[in-house]
Structure formats: structure tokens, C-alpha cells
Structure 1
Amino acid sequence: MKKILVTGCNGQLGRAIRKEYEGENVTFINTDVVEGEDVRALDITDIQAVISMVEETKPDVIINCAAHTNVDACETQWDLAYKINAIGPRNLSIAAEKTGAKMIHVSTDYVFEGNGTRPYTEFDAPNPVSAYGKTKLEGEKFVQQFSSRFFIFRTAWLYGDGKNFVKTMLRLSETHNEVSVVCDQLGSPTSAVELAKAIHHFEPTENYGIFHATCEGDTNWAEFTEEIFKRAGKTTKVNHVTSEQYAQMNPASAKRPAYSILENYMMKLTNDYRMADWRDALDVYMKALQA
């Protein structure tokens, strides 16, 4: 029986991964910062705790879904962000290598500056401009340095079972006749279910390396919101505003990528694998929400 250790198991992706493997002959070692039902507490920033856990449970695969994802907070919590986003993956990679486990790490579009004019491929040089992006890139480097059998999946605009943009917009629509949403930041909304499917597809293979993993197609946040409202039957008006206008209304400390579109080049080239179009994935998610 295959054993998979998941960190951040209570997050959107962690939950999606566990559902994705349902019905298979797999044992999950579920870990998160807080212990719970069928969940073991694990501080991934503590190298001895990580090695002890991995040596005890002997997983075949480690999937790291844990991250400090509060982009603005990372600007003022550099040490904490670095510990979780960089040292954590480092520790897990060291433990994976020590026990012979495959290492799967989830990264982000924020490793790029976000001023491009074409989709970023895995061969474009990262150049993060935020603390979040910088610490996530360091995490990538540590995984490559300490693990000989690794998959790094860079994703973007993720939503799933948990707190996310889709639910935030739906909640706002209950109390607002109109909302103002940025229209000059481009990216690919990605369902955690689709990302979990991609991880499941590649996990048994030896096709190691860095992969971009977003749903196909692209949009901006305002148009994404309109598509959400349309599927939910909401009449809330979406005001398209620039990032500069939005910042004046809602000051933030971190710079967001203006162009965040990733090309899943390596997935298609090495395995002919394609993720769903973002609109189709949103349809599935919204139907599940409404059910």
C-alpha cells in the first residue's frame, strides 16, 4: 500500500488531494499545524520534527501543501514567511531524500515579476518582487538542492474547499449591489480539484522537474468575478478598476503581478497532459457549491 504524507492537509489543495485519491489503495499521513481528527500536528520549520515524523511513518511520497500565503503579511513577517515557505520545503526535502520518498512541492506564479507580454514557461528566469514570491522561490531552490526525486508545481489563482476569491465575491454579493474589482491583472483561475488531478497524474511517474500547473485560458479578476456571478445568478454589478485605483481604496503592502499567465509547457511536452479550461473548472466548482 502506498503511503502519502501531506502537509497543510486542511487547506484547499490538501483537501482536494485527499478526495482525488479516494477509493485507491493509499494511506494518507495527514499533517497540519494543529492536530485534529485524523490529522497529526507537524511544524515543517522544525527539522528534527520533520525527520522524526518521516522516519516514523516512512511515506513513499511527501506532498507539501503548506505555505504562508498571506501576500501582504509576508512583507512584514519576512522571517516567518521564510521559515514556512523556504525552510519548510528544505526540511521536507532533506527528510524525503533520507528515506527515499518522492518530494512534491507546490509553488506559485509570484516567483515571476509579472511584467511579461506572453505566458511564462518553466524556462523563463524567475524574478519575484514580493516577499511572498521571494520566499517561495527560495523554497523551490531548496527542494532542487536537497531532493533527487522532486516535482515542483507552480500554480496561480487557486480556489477550492476553503477560504478563496470565489467565496469572497459570493459573500460580498449578498450585501453589495456593486463591487470594484481589478481589471489589469491577468492570470488563470485554477481549481484545486484540477491541480490535485495533475499531481495525481504525475506522482507515480519518474517525470521529475518543474511544471507550471494552471487551468487553461486566462482572464482578469473583474471578468472572473462576472463569470462567478453569472453562474450563481447574481445581479451584483462589477466595476472594473485599475490596480492603482484599487490600491487607493484598499492599501496593500505587497506588489501583485500584473501579468501572471503561466504556460503548462512541460506538462504538455513531456506527458501530453492538459488541465481543464478555467471556465469549465469553474462550472464544476460552482455546481458543487450550489449542491
Structure 2
Amino acid sequence: MMKNKRVWLTGAHGLLGTAIQEVARSQYPELELLPTTRETLNYSSEEEVAQFVTNQQPDIVVNCIAFTNVDMAESQYSEALLANTSIPLALANTLGKIPLIHISTDHIFGGDRTPRKECYKEEDIPMPSNRYALTKLIGEYAVQYHKRNAYILRTSWLYGPAKWRHKSFYKSILSNAQAGKALRVVTDEVSTPTSVFTLAEVILEIASQRHGHLPFGTYHVADIGQVSRHTFASKIVELLPPETLVTVGKCTQADWALPAFRPHFSALSTEKIAHFYPTLIRPWEERLQEIYNYDIQGITDEVQ
């Protein structure tokens, strides 16, 4: 009898970690997840990481730990650096022959603020748009330099079910619209909303190797299509019952004066990953409807 592949899942209580557990439970019975959190393991300690690896013998590691609050990273840079750079470095230094899947962001692009309409490819030169993006980019470099058998998956505007406890743009727009609140959403941020289930499914395909081994390297994993935050918000509101009368007003980043600048354009080209997993990379509108259906069908609230 073939033994199950053991997948060490760090940051298991976050949005992506929750989605990975949900999808694995229903679609990947051959994978045995080893979920941990920062409360159960000190990831920045190479000694503790090494001891965990020795004890649990994972076949692959998925790193879902991240400091994702873009504005707070401007003032809490050291905390962001710990989660986004130091911990990936500790993992890369310790895992040896065990492959690592590490998650990064579209925010590593767009810092030059020049007009652009062409999706960023994996080979394009990064230009971090804020301090959060800088910590994520340094984390990429740490993984690339110290670990040849790694996957770096960049994603954009990740969101998940509103019924889960995790914050997201989708959840905020949905809850405010349901409460009848008027909305003002920026028009000068363009990228691709990405369902957390898209990223989770790609990760689990990589881990399971059901369709063969994916070459190590950097990949962009996002849904298909480019939209502004305003258009995305408008589409979310359109999902609600007709009696929900909510106005989605327009504004710009300058109107909000937030601590961190967001890239005006950071859509990612997904041709590379779609070559290997064509059925998983779908239009963002389809994935949004899927998430909304999940929310209204009364499915179990969240993974414990």
C-alpha cells in the first residue's frame, strides 16, 4: 500500500491555509496535511524547524506565513520583514532536499508608477511598490538563493469566502453592501482578483504530482482578466439580490491618502502555469460566482 504524501502546511490558520485544508479534505485524499501555526512552532528558529522536519518527515512544505497588511507594513517594517523574509530564509536553509512552495505577491511590480497595460511575466524586473512588497521580494530572493528545489507562486488580490473569519476586499464590500452602505472604491488600481481556491488547487496539484512533476521555479497564479478595484466591487454588488440598492462611487488612491502606495497596474500573466494546469486557471468572474455560491449554500463555516 502506497503511503500518503505528507505536506507540512505553515500558517495553517490563515486564509490560504484554511482553503488548502478545505480543498485537500474534499479532493486530495492521498495527501496528509501537517498543519502548524506560529503559536505551535517558532518558524524563525532553524533549530525548531529542523527538529520538526526530523520528527514529522514531510515530503513537501507549503509556506503560507505572511504579513499581509500593506498599510501596517509601512510602520511595522521589522514585523513584516520577520514574516515575509526571515521565516522563508529559515525554511530554505533547513529543508535540504525537501521541496518548498512559497507565496509572493503582485505588489513586487508597479513601484515605478509608469503607465502599463501589459501583464507582468515571471521574467519581468520587479519594482516594489511599498514596504510590504519589498519584504516579499527579499523573501523571494532568500528562497531563490538558498534553495534550488523551490516554487515561488506570485498571486494577486487574493480573497476567500465571506463566511470565514479572514478579512478580504471581497468580504468588506459584500458586508457593507448588505448593510446598505454607500461605497467609494478606487479606479486607479488594476490587477486580477484571485479566488483563494484557485491558488489552493494549484498548490495541491503541485504537492500531489497527479499530473507529473512541475519544474521548480517562479510562477504567476491568478485568475484571468484585468479589472479595477471599482469594477471588482461593482461586480460583487451585482451578485446580491435586486432589492439591494447600493451605490458604488468612484475615487482614487489620492482621495484616501493611505500610508502605503498600491501599484496602479499589477496584473500577472498566467500563461506559464496555465500550460501545466489549464483547467485551474479560469476567468475571475467565474471564480467570484463560485465563492459567492459557497457563501450562500450554508457549507461548514471554516476548517478547525
- The answer to whether TM tops 0.5 is yes
Alpha-carbon shift at residue 268 of structure 1 (Å): 3.2
Alignment of 1:6 onto 2:38: no
Q: Deviations over 1:133-188 (max 9, x none)?
A: 00001111111112121111000100114221111112212444411111111010
Which amino acid is 1:89 matched to? Answer: P
Q: Aligned to 1:103, which of 100, 103, 110?
A: 100
Report percent identity of matched pairs.
Answer: 29
Q: Deviations over 1:268-291 (max 9, x none)?
A: 346656511100000000011011
Using the alignment, how far apart are the partners of 2:279 and 2:202 within structure 1?
A: 8
> Which residue does the alignment assign to 1:232?
240
User: Which one is further off, 107-116 or 88-97?
Assistant: 107-116
Q: Aligned to 1:217, which of 183, 205, 225?
A: 225
> Which residue does the alignment assign to 2:302?
none
Alignment of 1:207 onto 2:215: yes
Using the alignment, how far apart are the partners of 2:200 and 2:277 within structure 1?
A: 16
Q: Aligned to 1:20, which of 20, 23, 26?
A: 23
Alignment of 1:29 onto 2:34: yes
The gaps in structure 1 that reach 5 residues or longer are 35-40
Alignment of 1:189 onto 2:193: yes
Alignment of 1:164 onto 2:180: no
TM-score (norm 2): 0.87
> Residue 119 of structure 1: SS of its match in structure 2?
coil
8 Å Cα contact 1:232-1:286 kept in structure 2: no
Using the alignment, how far apart are the partners of 2:228 and 2:272 within structure 1?
A: 24
User: Which one is further off, 65-74 or 155-164?
Assistant: 155-164
Count of residues in correspondence between the two structures = 279
> Which residue does the alignment assign to 2:301?
none
The gaps in structure 2 that reach 5 residues or longer are 298-304
Q: How does 1:1-291 map to 2 (within 5 A)?
A: 1-22=4-25, 23-34=28-39, 41-97=40-96, 100-114=97-111, 115=113, 116-160=116-160, 161=164, 162-203=166-207, 204=209, 205-233=213-241, 234-247=244-257, 252-269=258-275, 275-291=281-297
8 Å Cα contact 2:191-2:265 kept in structure 1: yes
Using the alignment, how far apart are the partners of 1:183 and 1:194 within structure 2?
A: 25
> Residue 275 of structure 1: SS of its match in structure 2?
coil
> Which residue does the alignment assign to 1:38?
none
8 Å Cα contact 2:201-2:280 kept in structure 1: no
User: Which one is further off, 264-273 or 177-186?
Assistant: 264-273
Using the alignment, how far apart are the partners of 1:127 and 1:177 within structure 2?
A: 36
Question: What is the CA RMSD across the aligned residues, in angstroms?
Answer: 1.6
* Larger relative helix fraction: 1
8 Å Cα contact 2:274-2:281 kept in structure 1: no
8 Å Cα contact 1:6-1:14 kept in structure 2: yes
Using the alignment, how far apart are the partners of 1:139 and 1:273 within structure 2?
A: 29
Using the alignment, how far apart are the partners of 2:44 and 2:84 within structure 1?
A: 9
